[in-house]
Chain A
Amino acid sequence: MSILLVEDEEALAGYLKSELGNCGHVVEHVARGDLAYEAATHGGNYDLLVVDRMLPGLDGLSLIQRLRKENTKTPVLFLSNLGGLDDRVEGLNAGADDYLAKPFAFSELLARVNALLRRPPGINEPQLLRLGEFELDRIKRKLTRAGVPILLQPREMGLLEYLLLRRGQIVTRTMLLEGVWGYHFDPKTHIVETHMSRLRAKLGEDIIQTIRGSGYIIRAPQPDA
């Protein structure tokens, strides 16, 4: 997948470029906002833009706003080193699809990049999500395993739904906090972990795996397992 990285911090840009490259992405790097605008509008056909907020030439927010005004639908991951409360809202309002505050762990960035690349925005998800013997009805909020209903708490239901919509992808703890709970801060309490262990206990089958240092992934059970 081809990614345009717009970042003026050379050291960080070099690190991200090589790491994302190792993960199989083709990364092009520009250090100026105005050059990024040209690259994105003329010629370059990118699957994802990773845009820093503070940029010379044209700042990140304005860059995204301009691109969106010209109907560029390419997903945008917005980076900010302000880490402030309002930056997230501003970034998303400008038209970014996701937001990540610096400093971040690379695994966090990678998970979000993959999520944005695999799920092009604007596609309607089905009402029924199936995985192996499990079937989740998103409207009726019901889960069955081989036709037998399993009773879940609303949060556990949300957790499972979030994972099923991103099956086969690594989902980080922060993504779950934001996506399921709407928390944009990092609680020191193990709320994700405890809810996850309760959900696993109720599912009875180990379809959710923990990826150490990164997050969780949901996969169909292996037939021979």
Chain B
Amino acid sequence: MRLNQTLKSASFKLSAAYAGLFAVSVCILAVLTYFSVTGGLSAQFRARIRSESRALQSDYMAGGVSQVLRIIGERQRGRLVYGLDYSLWDKNGHHLFGSLPDVPCRAGWTTLTGPPDGDEAPGEQEQLKLYVTPLDGEACLLIGDDWGKVQEFGDLILKTFAWISLLSLTMAIVGGLFLSSRFLKRIETINRTAEAIIEGDMKRRVPRRNAPDDLDRLAATLNRMLDRTTSLMESLKHLSNDIAHDLRTPLGRLRQLLEPARHEQLSGDEYRALLDKGVKEIDTILDMFAALLRIAQIESGNRRAGFQRFCLSQLVSDICDTFAPALEEDGRELREVIVPNIWINGDPELLTLSLANLLENANTHTPHSASITVSVCRSRKGIELCVADNGPGVPAQDTMRIFQRFYRLDESRTTSGNGLGLSIVAAVAELHNASIFAADNRPGLRVGMTFPQAA
């Protein structure tokens, strides 16, 4: 099973392919070497015999057959030095020298198989290559040598290469098996981690080796992905908890309202007042759902298709005009610090909704004498839309949590609102690729969004 897995692994296949490629190239190299070496050797072989033939021919010119006989006799005695075989006949076919068999007296090469002389493999005949040199019709000279030496050399080359390629193939395969099993072991670790997570152990992570290689980077990426997934799942779980909790509150109030009404005898007006209260509670629930649906719709990103270029300064100034009387009625002060003529690309309706939510948030969570400042300006990061107040603010550790759905400070649990207003602001900002911020206004809260600088 394990071997089968190794054989099927990508890294093993890769190393096998490399080994195969290497073997093919070794074969080509062997064939080339074989032919060039044996070719060279045989050319050298022939050149040696030819030059001997020419030398003896000139000896013959100088001193006739007797001179040739004398020289080959000397050469034969020094056979170990020259290594050549000689034979000489006269024109009548009488052997004058040497014991090589008869051949027709025509100039050129001929091949003979002679009795073994000891350096052949058992059962093999010695192969002789002979050069025939007619000496003016008076005699016939035969010079030869063991051709087997050349062939043996070629065989040796082939054998050597065969061993080399066998050895290197074995090493490649063994090495490939070794490397791929190591690789597989790490893949298996990742696999086991994934299996464990599927089984429900969300805390499991792929072990790291802190080596800067691909697999380690993959492990790091997978771990980051798992962290993100876990945090999203957590927030989803919180969200459904929060929805359930926040839904239970008004439904519980509704029940408390209706239950006693069934038993008590009330007048028509009292009943009417009770029903009005009930309708109000139901409206609270409906508002909550409308806000949730709205957030989902904004987050789906479909609204981006309807983006248009409009003057943000004008929009904000109009909204301030609209809200100022209502805010001032309770004694709050609304100040505008708006840089004119700032245009952006976006959805004016959703930005109106966002700014309204920001203003209402400031209005709900500040005392009556508070001052609220709306500003639109260019900053280093882009175009900033901000609502600041000098109210009680939000504890530092909670500032970014105010954008979470259903987040409400404990002190504001009793005030109206469903804790979704700023979530809508966050969703609208996200839709516009704007970043949201919330900070201490010393005193109070500064909250808003920064649009990326329009090109």
B302-327 interface bits toward A, Cβ cutoff 8 Å, 1 = contact, 0 = none? 11001000000000000001110111
Instruction: Return the contact of A84 from the options B297, B323, B325 (Cβ within 8 A).
Output: B297
Given contacts A103-B286, A183-B352, contact A189 B326 (CB under 8 A): yes
CA distance A186 to B298 in the complex (A): 17
Given contacts A153-B321, A183-B352, A184-B349, contact A85 B326 (CB under 8 A): no
CA distance A85 to B227 in the complex (A): 34
CA distance A81 to B175 in the complex (A): 69
Q: Is the CB of A189 within 8 A of B353?
A: no
Across-interface contacts of A198 in B (CB, < 8 A): 325
CA distance A195 to B302 in the complex (A): 34
Across-interface contacts of A155 in B (CB, < 8 A): 321-322
Across-interface contacts of A83 in B (CB, < 8 A): 290, 293
Distance in Å from the Cβ of B293 to the closest Cβ of chain A?
A: 6
Q: Is B434 an interface residue (CB 8 A)?
A: no
Q: Is the CB of B325 within 8 A of A195?
A: yes
Q: Is B341 an interface residue (CB 8 A)?
A: no
Across-interface contacts of A185 in B (CB, < 8 A): 353, 356
The B317-361 residues at the A interface (CB cut-off 8 A) are: 321-323, 325-327, 329, 349-350, 352-353, 356, 359-360
CA distance A113 to B321 in the complex (A): 31
Distance in Å from the Cβ of A103 to the closest Cβ of chain B?
A: 6
Q: Is A154 an interface residue (CB 8 A)?
A: yes
The A66-117 residues at the B interface (CB cut-off 8 A) are: 83-86, 89, 103
CA distance A5 to B69 in the complex (A): 138
Q: Is the CB of A189 within 8 A of B286?
A: no
Instruction: Return the contact of A194 from the options B286, B302, B329, B353 (Cβ within 8 A).
Output: B329
Distance in Å from the Cβ of B436 to the closest Cβ of chain A?
A: 19
Q: Is B6 an interface residue (CB 8 A)?
A: no
Q: Is the CB of B349 within 8 A of A189?
A: no
Q: Is the CB of A191 within 8 A of B321?
A: no
CA distance A183 to B303 in the complex (A): 17
- In the complex, residue of chain B having the shortest beta-carbon distance to the beta carbon of A84: B297
Q: Is B416 an interface residue (CB 8 A)?
A: yes
Instruction: Return the contact of B329 from the options A154, A187, A190 (Cβ within 8 A).
Output: A190
Q: Is the CB of A191 within 8 A of B326?
A: yes
Q: Is the CB of A194 within 8 A of B297?
A: no
Residues in A lying within 8 Å of B, measured CB to CB: 83-86, 89, 103, 153-155, 181-191, 193-195, 198
Instruction: Return the contact of B327 from the options A84, A188, A189 (Cβ within 8 A).
Output: A189
Distance in Å from the Cβ of A104 to the closest Cβ of chain B?
A: 10
CA distance A10 to B363 in the complex (A): 42
CA distance A46 to B356 in the complex (A): 40
Distance in Å from the Cβ of A166 to the closest Cβ of chain B?
A: 21
CA distance A63 to B394 in the complex (A): 51
Q: Is the CB of B293 within 8 A of A191?
A: no
What 16 new A-B contacts, CB under 8 Å, besides A84-B294, A89-B306, A183-B356?
A84-B297, A85-B298, A85-B303, A103-B286, A155-B322, A185-B356, A187-B323, A189-B323, A189-B327, A189-B359, A191-B325, A191-B326, A193-B326, A194-B325, A194-B326, A198-B325
CA distance A103 to B283 in the complex (A): 9
Query: 5 closest Cβ contacts across the A-B interface?
Result: A194-B325, A194-B326, A189-B326, A191-B326, A190-B326
CA distance A191 to B329 in the complex (A): 10
Distance in Å from the Cβ of B188 to the closest Cβ of chain A?
A: 49
Q: Is the CB of A188 within 8 A of B416?
A: yes
Q: Is the CB of B325 within 8 A of A187?
A: no
CA distance A85 to B323 in the complex (A): 22
Identify 26 residue pairs between A and B in the complex whose beta-carbon atoms are under 8 Å apart, listed by A's number.
A85-B298, A85-B303, A85-B350, A86-B302, A103-B286, A154-B321, A155-B321, A155-B322, A183-B352, A183-B356, A184-B349, A185-B353, A186-B287, A187-B323, A187-B356, A187-B360, A188-B360, A188-B416, A188-B417, A189-B360, A190-B329, A191-B326, A193-B326, A194-B326, A194-B329, A198-B325
CA distance A188 to B419 in the complex (A): 13
CA distance A154 to B324 in the complex (A): 14
Distance in Å from the Cβ of A160 to the closest Cβ of chain B?
A: 15
- In the complex, residue of chain A having the shortest beta-carbon distance to the beta carbon of B350: A85
Across-interface contacts of A186 in B (CB, < 8 A): 287
Q: Which of B293, B326, B352 has the most CB of A within 10 A?
A: B326
CA distance A89 to B350 in the complex (A): 14
CA distance A190 to B350 in the complex (A): 20
CA distance A154 to B356 in the complex (A): 19
Across-interface contacts of B359 in A (CB, < 8 A): 189
CA distance A83 to B294 in the complex (A): 9
CA distance A183 to B352 in the complex (A): 8
Across-interface contacts of A154 in B (CB, < 8 A): 321
Distance in Å from the Cβ of A184 to the closest Cβ of chain B?
A: 7
Q: Is the CB of A189 within 8 A of B297?
A: no
Distance in Å from the Cβ of A113 to the closest Cβ of chain B?
A: 21
